[in-house]
Structure 1
Amino acid sequence: MISKTVKFCFRDAVSDYLSPDDRMEALKNITDLLSRTFSSQFVFPVLGHADPQEPEKLGQLWRQWLPTDALQTFNTGGYYMIEQKSRRLKVIALNSNLWMEKYEDEIDPGGQWAWLDKHLDTAKRNGETVYLVGHNAPGFDERQGVPPRITLATRHNTRYHNMVRKYAGVVAGQFFGHLHSDSFRIIYDQQGSPVSTIFLTPAITPKRTSSGTNNPALRLYTFDTDNGQVLNYIQYFMNLTSSNSNGEAGWDEEYNFTRYYGIEEVTPYEMNELAQSFVTQEGIKLFGRYWMANSVHSNVNPLNTRTAWTNSHFCAITQLDSADYQDCLVTRASALAAANSQPTEPSSEAKPLIPSHHFAILLITGKSIVRFC
């Protein structure tokens, strides 16, 4: 039987530029807002690099959402697992701060790798579904190709990549943020077949740096409630220019994923086909749509650098390991140079290829807060 539920979630709720006290105060305000808005306990907080690195204090702040077992591992390592037994679903909230560059020389900081492998192995043996949720995703920043910037330490980036390959059969979804950009990553097995997708959600906080910009964004995912497969999502955004001009925050639908790209389903195979189209002459318009979405409609068309930007985005999407990414940057450059048409902003009238699905979970995946139904 098909069911329909609606939930919210978002990414990057706390600015890097706030003081530690102000960050904690901001998280208290967000926690209070979510507690008053949503009566259920299914809010899953996830630590980000800008959050106060005080798990015990944050554990007390979020104790209404974390059962005893989850609170115990969160207080010690900032990570936890919550099981929804009726759906045979495990939500695993990772502390990606433990895998950043300063932990490059540590084999298993905080014991998170052994803990994660244990839960994924149990899920595999029991035929369960797993969602992995974190802040820093593996791979490279697609908006900063020169010099390339990896978001996790190389050791831990490779280990994550290999672990998802190993357990791809049970990992139904991966949801990350950090880069303030709208993108995705594809994980392939040893034979080169796409086996899993990482969804990168843009941030609710805007960013204005040399590596890119973004308008504030929220995202709604739809799932098959029987097997956990991601079916579609709708991206919402706030246009800062018009909102500031009107003196009022205005949230609008930016795009519907399957309609926007004209694909039938959101599987690793289809996501790979979409990525591969970005580097073909026929796929230039699709890359233009992706380019505008990547910054939540903050980008302007890249004039003389489209080839370099396409190369950077394509390689970041399809190559998570450092050596493979570097090789992609080199080998794709000449092929992509031939695609010299400019990206174009998509029409809001794009039509779906198939009827939309009639069951949904609204997911607001956030650096600080993640909510599933």
Structure 2
Amino acid sequence: MHLLGMEGQLFSICALLFLTNCVTGDIGYFWHVTDFHYDPTYNRTSLSCQESNGGNQMGRFGNMWCDSPWVLIESSVKAMYSIKTDIDFLLWTGDTVLHASVKDLNHQFNSVILDNVTDLLKTTFPKKPVYASFGNHDSYPSDQFKPKNTVLYNESLARWRSWINDSSQDANFRKGGFYSVKTPQNIRIVALNTVLYYIPNKAVQSDGDPAGQFAWLTQILEAARKQKERVIITAHIAPGVTPTGKSELYKHQNDRLVEIMKEYCDVIIAMHFGHEHADAFKVLKNKAGVPVSPVFLAPSVTPIRFGPVHNPGIRLVKYDRSTGQHLGISQYYLDLSKANNAGRADWKLEYTTASTYGLQDLSAGKLSSLTDKMRDPDSLEFKTYWKYYVVSPSEELTDACNSTCHASVVCGLTEFIKADFDKCVAEMLTSSAMQLSYWVPLFGISVMLLVFC
């Protein structure tokens, strides 16, 4: 044992944790919904619509160049209730306010939006707790979250108090919009405010610990380890790198968050985020390259596009209540074009991780094996992942994913540090180019043989 060192000991702990986590049969479910981006002005001034919208028709359930009308918001929440009412809780990872310029918004306008969606969730699921976190658009001005008492923190504490249901969390929430609670199933939810680390947020220092959230998180996870608790981390913006090669969080704070996640991989069951408006997952590995924690990003409800066309989505997660281990995802979506043409919202099952990928659980090891298969751009696994990444748009609207896109998507699954991501992409593109250079001469030889034959 003395030969292992700290990294080897961490591997032993995390590997043992996942190897011994057998399903007990006490199965629970929870919903994850994110990025509603409700536009109350849809069909009027349509403040969220991009210039690219041009003369596109404003469909009843939305437009791919605009944020969500209320009918889409309501249909998504009602669909969750209709599909699976008997759940343990819901995760709501922020960005409820529309995309609009600062001049068209104000704090009161944003507050009404947050009140409306909060009330909808409370009336639809009156006996279920919702563990909510802030998105970057939920503040006024957008992206600007301060590490101290703000009107938004204080109002939202009152707004969500019945869900948090723990007055000991009031000070943390008022200080930075983060909190921790234990579910009736003895799973600890740690709701972070990662918008404090968001690069466009100029209300904080980029190299510090805004609101003391890192220190608090470390204390929570250390206590969870001592109490043998299982932790689900939830927030709006995930650490790591997006498929566009963009780091969303300040480098110092991204790297510190990743370091903490690795250090406490033995108590962190999984992490759930939103923000990217895409269906994705990541696998956190330790320094030895061993997969230790699964990370999930749910697709948005809003159909607004800033990249590939995508449909609205809602997510149901199946988990083992005793161990907290995630067993499967059932992803539901709304075909926006069909819904607008039919005049009704028909939310359908898009896929399950069990039937589509053959995954009997969502452990870091199983997801890592899936990512290995996806390194081949022609693999069924990658083609399927890309289709679901953009939430199954119509074939004529589906964007192709070239070699650069493929490398960026695959490297984004496992690399959380920008330098590591860039190195991974470069290596994959070099490997792809070498393979091409190998086959081109062979292709030439085959043509010559055909000529001579």
TM-score, normalised to structure 1, is: 0.84
What's the CA shift for 1:338? Answer: 7.4
1:108 matched residue in structure 2: 209
SS at match of 1:174: strand
1:150 matched residue in structure 2: 247
Q: Using the alignment, how far apart are the partners of 1:338 and 1:242 within structure 2? A: 43
Q: Using the alignment, how far apart are the partners of 1:202 and 1:232 within structure 2? A: 16
The correspondence for 2:177, drawn from 66, 75, 78, is 78
Q: Using the alignment, how far apart are the partners of 2:205 and 2:422 within structure 1? A: 19
Equivalent AA in structure 2 for residue 328 of structure 1 = C
Q: Using the alignment, how far apart are the partners of 1:323 and 1:7 within structure 2? A: 35
Compared with structure 1, are the counterparts of its residues 223 and 302 closer, same or farther at alpha carbon in structure 2 (3 Å cutoff)? same
Give the fraction of aligned pairs with identical amino acids, expressed as a percent.
27
- Larger helix percent: 2
After superposition, give the CA deviation of every residue in 1:23-55 in whole Å (9 maximum; x if it has no partner).
Answer: 322221111111112222521110110112511
Q: Using the alignment, how far apart are the partners of 2:171 and 2:435 within structure 1? A: 53
Are residues 1:16 and 2:108 paired?
no
SS at match of 1:65: helix
1:288 matched residue in structure 2: 383
2:451 matched residue in structure 1: none
What's the CA shift for 1:321? Answer: 0.5
Q: Residues 154 and 174 of structure 2 are in contact (CA less than 8 Å); yes or no, is this contact kept in structure 1?
A: yes
What's the CA shift for 1:213? Answer: 3.2
1:122 matched residue in structure 2: 223
Q: Residues 32 and 317 of structure 2 are in contact (CA less than 8 Å); yes or no, is this contact kept in structure 1?
A: no
Are residues 1:246 and 2:333 paired?
no
Q: Residues 182 and 200 of structure 1 are in contact (CA less than 8 Å); yes or no, is this contact kept in structure 2?
A: yes
1:182 matched residue in structure 2: 279
2:294 matched residue in structure 1: 197
SS at match of 2:113: helix
Larger relative contact order (Cα-Cα within 8 Å, sequence gap ≥ 6): 1
Compared with structure 1, are the counterparts of its residues 185 and 5 closer, same or farther at alpha carbon in structure 2 (3 Å cutoff)? closer
SS at match of 1:40: coil
Q: Residues 204 and 216 of structure 1 are in contact (CA less than 8 Å); yes or no, is this contact kept in structure 2?
A: yes
Q: Using the alignment, how far apart are the partners of 2:322 and 2:132 within structure 1? A: 24
Q: Using the alignment, how far apart are the partners of 1:117 and 1:312 within structure 2? A: 31
1:357 matched residue in structure 2: none
Q: Residues 29 and 317 of structure 2 are in contact (CA less than 8 Å); yes or no, is this contact kept in structure 1?
A: no
Give the paired residue count: 332
Are residues 1:44 and 2:131 paired?
yes
More divergent stretch after superposition (127-136 vs 97-106): 97-106
What's the CA shift for 1:57? Answer: 1.4
Q: Residues 104 and 155 of structure 1 are in contact (CA less than 8 Å); yes or no, is this contact kept in structure 2?
A: no
Equivalent AA in structure 2 for residue 76 of structure 1 = K
Q: Residues 104 and 154 of structure 1 are in contact (CA less than 8 Å); yes or no, is this contact kept in structure 2?
A: no
The correspondence for 2:167, drawn from 55, 60, 68, is 68
Q: Using the alignment, how far apart are the partners of 1:275 and 1:19 within structure 2? A: 42
Equivalent AA in structure 2 for residue 100 of structure 1 = Y
After superposition, give the CA deviation of every residue in 1:176-228 in whole Å (9 maximum; x if it has no partner).
Answer: 0100000111111111100001101111111212x333211100000011100
What's the CA shift for 1:152? Answer: 1.1
After superposition, give the CA deviation of every residue in 1:345-365 in whole Å (9 maximum; x if it has no partner).
Answer: xxxxxxxxxxxxxxxxxxxxx
Q: Using the alignment, how far apart are the partners of 2:30 and 2:284 within structure 1? A: 27
Larger Rg: 2
Equivalent AA in structure 1 for residue 158 of structure 2 = Q
Q: Using the alignment, how far apart are the partners of 1:237 and 1:22 within structure 2? A: 29
Compared with structure 1, are the counterparts of its residues 104 and 193 closer, same or farther at alpha carbon in structure 2 (3 Å cutoff)? farther
Q: Residues 56 and 76 of structure 1 are in contact (CA less than 8 Å); yes or no, is this contact kept in structure 2?
A: no
Q: Residues 238 and 274 of structure 2 are in contact (CA less than 8 Å); yes or no, is this contact kept in structure 1?
A: yes
SS at match of 1:131: strand
What's the CA shift for 1:151? Answer: 1.4
After superposition, give the CA deviation of every residue in 1:262-314 in whole Å (9 maximum; x if it has no partner).
Answer: 23321111101111111126x621111000100111375555x5211110101
Map of 1:266-345 to 2, 5 A cutoff?
A: 266-280=362-376, 284-298=379-393, 300=397, 302-303=399-400, 306-337=402-433
2:117 matched residue in structure 1: 30
What's the CA shift for 1:104? Answer: 5.3
SS at match of 1:60: helix
What is the RMSD of the two structures over their aligned residues, measured on CA atoms? 2.0
SS at match of 1:253: strand
Q: Residues 280 and 339 of structure 1 are in contact (CA less than 8 Å); yes or no, is this contact kept in structure 2?
A: no
Q: Residues 213 and 295 of structure 1 are in contact (CA less than 8 Å); yes or no, is this contact kept in structure 2?
A: yes
The correspondence for 1:170, drawn from 254, 260, 267, is 267
Q: Using the alignment, how far apart are the partners of 1:205 and 1:175 within structure 2? A: 18
